[in-house]
Amino acid sequence: MEDSASKQAGLETGAVQVEVVRMDETGGAVRVRVLVDASRETIWGIIGNCQQAYRYLAGMEACEVLVDEPAHALTHHVVDPGWFAPTLDYQFSTARAPFERMDIELVEGNLRAIEGYWMLSPSGTATVVEHELRIRPQRAAPRWLVRRKLERDLPRMMRCIRALSGGSLNEEAAETDLESCEDPRAHENQ
C-alpha cells in the first residue's frame, strides 16, 4: 500500500492515479486523482460548465444546467458511451461547497445509480483534483466492462480538465493533456 508521500510524488510527475473502489453486480466505481497547476476557482469553472463538458466528457451529446445555485445544481446529461451500451439520459443533483467539493447523486434517468464527488484540495500553488464516480447501469452489464470503461475514460477526462485549466505541469504534458480532450471515437470511422 502506497503512503501519502509516494502518492503525492507520483502526482508531481504528472501521473493520473486510478483506483477501483467498488464493484457492484452490474457496475463499479473508480477514483482518480491528478495534480493541476491552477487555482481551485479555475478548475471549478470547468467541471461545472456544460460548454467545457462537451470537451472533457467523451460521448457528451447534450448538457443542460436546469438549476444553478451556489450550494446546489441540477443538471441533465445525454451521453453516448459507445457501441456496446445504450445512450445514457439522466438528471443528477450536485450539492456544492464552492471551490472545495461537489457531491453528485442521480435524480432520474435510465441508470440505477450514478453518484460520486469532485474534491479540490490546495497543494502549494497547485490543486489536487480528486473525482470518484460510481455508475450502475439499468440493464445488466458485466461489471468488468463498466469498470474498464471508467478506468479508461476518467484518466483521459482528468488530463483534459488539466489542459483546459492551463494547469499542465510542463510543455510536453500540455500537449499530451490537450490530446485527451479529443473524443477517442472521433477517429474510429476515418
The confidence score (pLDDT) of residue 14 equals 81
Question: SS3 string of the chain?
Answer: CCCHHHHHHHHHCCCCEEEEEEECCCCEEEEEEEEECCCHHHHHHHHCCHHHHHHHCCCEEEEEEEEEECCEEEEEEEECCCCCCCCEEEEEEEEEECCCEEEEEEEEECEEEEEEEEEEEEECCEEEEEEEEEEEECCCCCHHHHHHHHHHHHHHHHHHHHHHCCCCCCHHHHHHHHHCCCCHHHHCCC
pLDDT for residue 120:
98
Instruction: For domain 16-178, give the fold.
Output: Alpha-D-Glucose-1,6-Bisphosphate; Chain A, domain 4 (3.30.530)
Provide the grid cell at 103.
457531491
For residues 141 and 28, give the distance between their C-alpha atoms in angstroms, rounded to a whole number. 11
In this prediction the pTM is 0.87
Each residue's pLDDT expressed in tens, for the chain with a length of 190 residues:
455 655 666 788 788 898 888 655 567 788 999 999 999 999 999 998 999 999 999 899 999 999 999 999 999 999 988 766 788 999 999 999 999 999 999 999 998 889 999 999 999 999 999 999 988 877 766 566 667 778 888 999 999 999 999 999 888 888 889 999 976 554 444 3
Residue 2 CB-density burial (10 A; 0-12 exposed, 13-18 middle, 19+ buried) = exposed
What is the residue extent of each domain of the chain?
Answer: 16-178
CA–CA dist 37, 39 (Å, integer): 7
Which residues, at least 6 apart from 182, have a Cβ–Cβ distance to it below 8 Å?
none
